[in-house]
């Protein structure tokens, strides 16, 4: 064990330091929300801040993923991937693109919650933990950029799609160019991974319970129906909660409630900012000049979901704002909640390599961001 890893594990199990490190995301979000409460006194409008549909989808998906983990479904799948693809480059492609396409269906945050553990298990199973930084960074980028193609691929997409009443065809038209460029960039980076032969250094997992896997898959699909407005969030929440309680109540104890708190705090933060007069005046002036550049810059400071909620009040140029809050999820670790999820997951599994992860993250994210912003500016000129 490295010195850094030893120091990390030497923290008291229930010490204040470890508690803060473990819950850094929700703590920061709560502090930011609390600061805005000094400027906006509590009133009835606070209830309108919360997107209960998003919170319910998040909880249900987290609960189902925890249930899948408890039957070791992802461990079994990870080892199947190693055996199937045979070399490191193909395995990395598989991990990155299962996250990329998964984010189009289950949203970027859910895709990362689902597939980051898979990435870790795959690399651990073939003893190639040295590739964790690049694999986790590319899974994060894939989730952020893959999710931008569908209205339900990112939380900010769901919000803007409904706020501006954007049609499905128009949405795809707006996002097609940045998505195509992003796909080429992701493929290019993955091609740099060498075709090293890999083999499994662990016993194959016993096939997980088929009937449980099927039931959990159905519950997962049921959770996604909230996004499509097929079923009301409170109905799905009740059904999934009761089902998990009956099938595996321990899974509910493994839900990342800190992530739910983080989302709730961000809703308060963005809701209050939109009601502060000074903020309104400044943002109105800036956004009128360039929704794209202001949106991207705002994401770097307050994340893309709060940016989408906040800036939507100040512009009718939803096309550039939509692109901004999607590609703006690249850049700093706080530009997207998905990036914070990845950072937290990496720190949990490999704290000794955290500096290398952050360096890789910043280099790839800002490079991709520069290309995508430049592409969109040129596309705007061509229109």
Averaged pLDDT score across all residues of the chain: 85
d(CA 348, CA 341): 11
Task: Write the DSSP symbol of residue 131.
Answer: G
How far apart are the C-alpha atoms of 232 and 226, rounded to whole Å?
A: 6
Radius of gyration of the chain from its Cα atoms, rounded to whole angstroms: 21
154-206 pLDDT, tens digit per residue, is 878 877 887 888 888 899 999 999 999 999 999 999 999 999 887 766 666 68
Give the whole-angstrom CA distance, residue 54 versus residue 197. Answer: 42
CA dihedral defined by 366, 370, 372, 378, rounded to 10 degrees? 170
Dig out the tokens for 231 from the structure: 């079923």
State pLDDT tens for residues 39-62: 999 999 999 888 888 788 878 988
> What does the alpha-carbon distance between residue 134 and residue 356 come to, in Å, rounded to a whole number?
9
What's the rounded mean pLDDT across residues 275-285?
A: 82
pTM: predicted TM-score of the whole model, two decimal places: 0.75
Which residues, including other chains, have CB under 8 Å from residue 92's CB and lie 6 or more apart? 131, 134, 135, 138, 190, 193
Q: State phi, psi for 197 to the nearest 5 degrees.
A: -70, 140
């Amino acid at each position: 064990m490295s010195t850094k890893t030893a120091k990390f594990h030497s923290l008291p199990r229930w010490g204040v330091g470890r508690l803060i490190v473990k819950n850094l995301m929700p703590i920061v979000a709560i502090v930011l929300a609390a600061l805005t409460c000094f400027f906006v006194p509590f009133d009835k409008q606070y209830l309108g801040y919360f997107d209960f549909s998003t919170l319910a989808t998040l909880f249900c998906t987290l609960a189902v993923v925890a249930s899948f983990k408890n039957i070791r479904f992802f461990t079994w799948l990870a080892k199947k991937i190693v055996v199937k693809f045979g070399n490191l480059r193909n395995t990395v492609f598989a991990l990155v693109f299962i996250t990329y396409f998964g984010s189009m269906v289950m949203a970027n945050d859910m895709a990362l919650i689902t597939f980051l553990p898979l990435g870790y298990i795959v690399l651990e199973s073939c003893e190639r933990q040295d590739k964790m930084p690049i694999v986790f960074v590319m899974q994060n980028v894939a989730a952020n950029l893959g999710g931008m193609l569908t209205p339900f691929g990112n939380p900010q997409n769901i919000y803007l799609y409904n706020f501006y009443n954007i049609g499905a065809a128009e949405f795809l038209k707006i996002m097609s160019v940045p998505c195509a460029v992003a796909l080429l960039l992701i493929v290019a980076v993955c091609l740099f991974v060498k075709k090293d032969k890999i083999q499994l250094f662990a016993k194959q997992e016993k096939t997980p319970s088929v009937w449980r896997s099927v039931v959990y898959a159905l519950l997962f699909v049921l959770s996604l129906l909230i996004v499509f407005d097929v079923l009301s969030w409170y109905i799905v929440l009740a059904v999934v909660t009761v089902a998990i309680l009956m099938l595996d109540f321990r899974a509910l104890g493994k839900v990342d409630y800190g992530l739910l708190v983080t989302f709730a705090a961000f809703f308060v933060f963005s809701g209050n900012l939109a009601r502060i007069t000074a903020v309104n005046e400044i943002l109105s002036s800036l956004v009128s000049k360039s929704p794209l550049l202001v949106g991207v810059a705002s994401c770097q400071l307050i994340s893309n979901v709060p940016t989408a909620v906040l800036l939507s009040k100040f512009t009718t140029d939803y096309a550039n704002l939509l692109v901004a809050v999607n590609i703006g999820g690249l850049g700093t670790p706080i530009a997207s909640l998905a990036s914070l999820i990845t950072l937290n997951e990496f720190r949990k599994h490999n704290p000794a390599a955290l500096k290398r992860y952050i360096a890789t993250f910043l280099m790839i994210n800002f490079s991709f961001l520069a290309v995508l912003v430049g592409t969109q500016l040129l596309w705007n000129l061509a229109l």
